[in-house]
Structure formats: structure tokens, C-alpha cells
């Protein structure tokens, strides 16, 4: 596989993870503040659960990309702290 595609896959995975983390934070804040003008809190909690599940999926995809790409394992906190 070409290096360009591997780099693009890496960037896509980590940008998606960042975006999902932002969404999770926003959803938690909206639930906490009960600021859901268009949907119920229960529906918003369902969206939060789905978003967290998507985060797990993209985390796994990023892990596979890291292993294939032989880049720094950004997902292993212990390695980062050493």
C-alpha cells in the first residue's frame, strides 16, 4: 500500500477521533445543562451512547492503522509517559 494512502488513513482516523471526543464533551454538557430544545434528554443520551460506541470503533481502526503503519502508538498512554 502506498505511503500516501497510509498517511491519509492515519490522519482521517485521528481527526475523526478528535471530532468524536468534541461531540462527546458537547453532548455531556448539553445533558448536564438540560439544554435540549429539539429532542428529549433520553434521546440525547442515546446519541451520546452511539457516539461513544463510534469512538471505540475508530479507536480500534486507529490501532490497526498504527500497527500497519509502524508509527508511534498514540493510543498507548503508557508508552507516551515513559
Per residue in 17-66, pLDDT tens?
A: 999 999 999 999 999 998 888 899 999 999 999 999 999 999 999 999 98
CB 10 within 8 A of CB 71: yes
**Position with higher pLDDT, 56 vs 81:** 56
Cα(14)–Cα(35) distance, rounded to whole angstroms?
29
Helical spans, DSSP H, in the chain: 3-33, 41-69, 77-81
pLDDT the model gives residue 20: 98
What's the whole-model pTM score?
0.78
CB 27 within 8 A of CB 51: yes
Query: What is the residue whose three cell numbers read 497510509?
Result: 6
The whole-number average pLDDT for the span 62-75 is: 74
Amino acid at each position: 500500500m502506498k505511503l500516501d494512502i497510509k498517511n491519509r488513513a492515519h490522519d482521517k482516523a485521528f481527526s475523526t477521533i478528535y471530532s468524536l471526543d468534541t461531540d462527546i464533551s458537547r453532548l455531556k454538557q448539553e445533558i448536564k445543562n438540560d439544554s435540549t430544545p429539539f429532542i428529549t434528554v433520553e434521546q440525547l443520551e442515546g446519541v451520546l451512547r452511539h457516539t461513544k460506541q463510534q469512538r471505540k470503533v475508530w479507536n480500534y481502526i486507529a490501532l490497526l492503522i498504527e500497527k500497519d503503519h509502524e508509527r508511534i502508538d498514540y493510543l498507548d498512554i503508557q508508552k507516551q509517559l515513559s
